[in-house]
Amino acid sequence: MPRVVTFHYTLRDPSGRVLDSSAGGDPITYLEGGGQIIEGLDAQLRGTAAGAKTRVQVPAARAYGEHDPDQVHRVKRNLLPIEGELQVGDQFQTGADRFSPVVTIAAIEGDEVLLDGNPPLAGVDLTFDVEIVSAREATAEELSHGHAHGAEGCSHE
């Protein structure tokens, strides 16, 4: 039976550099198998008891995927919907819809810009230090909705 799991984490890259952490903030709550966290982390946390502290290694293929060179495109600077100076590493959304892809400026070569549509952590093996705060069996409603509900329920009845 899938569970609703709440955890704190610190995320590191292969060199040990901290990329993200929930320390000092709210923990993450998710429904196992619901697609709310990366698949490799979800799979490795299955069955971990509340109170447990563990280190989870997630290879790139089971995190944000391998870097796909087909997602890198060269475009003319004047075609970009960005005003002002551009810098390598800048990110922007490709459309007005909040679900539009985000691209990263990988290089600026004269009047051309190299845009990378891969997720920023594509191709990166990840290490998570995790502390399971709580774990409980998911309710039938959570299973039918595909996500965990908080104390206030959810807004799409």
pLDDT (mean) for 71-97: 88
Q: What is the dihedral of CA 86, 88, 91, 92, to 10 degrees?
A: 30
Fold match between domain 3-64+122-145 and domain 69-116: no
- Is the distance from CB of 35 to CB of 58 less than 8 angstroms? no
pLDDT of residue 41: 97
pLDDT digits 0-9 by tens, 85-143? 899 999 988 888 888 888 999 999 999 999 999 999 999 999 999 999 999 988 888 77
pLDDT of residue 154: 58
Strand partners, 9: 130
pLDDT of residue 156: 58
* Whole-prediction pTM: 0.81
Write down the residue that tokens 């691209």 correspond to.
103
- Domain residue spans in the chain? 3-64+122-145, 69-116
pLDDT digits 0-9 by tens, 22-44? 999 999 999 999 999 999 999 99
HEC per residue, the chain: CCEEEEEEEEEECCCCCEEEECCCCCCEEEECCCCCCCHHHHHHHCCCCCCCEEEEEECHHHCCCCCCHHHEEEEEHHHCCCCCCCCCCCEEECCCCCCCCEEEEEEEECCEEEEECCCCCCCCCEEEEEEEEEEEECCHHHHHHCCCCECCECCCC
The CATH architecture annotation of domain 3-64+122-145 reads: Roll (3.10)
Q: Which fold has domain 69-116?
A: Thrombin, subunit H (2.40.10)
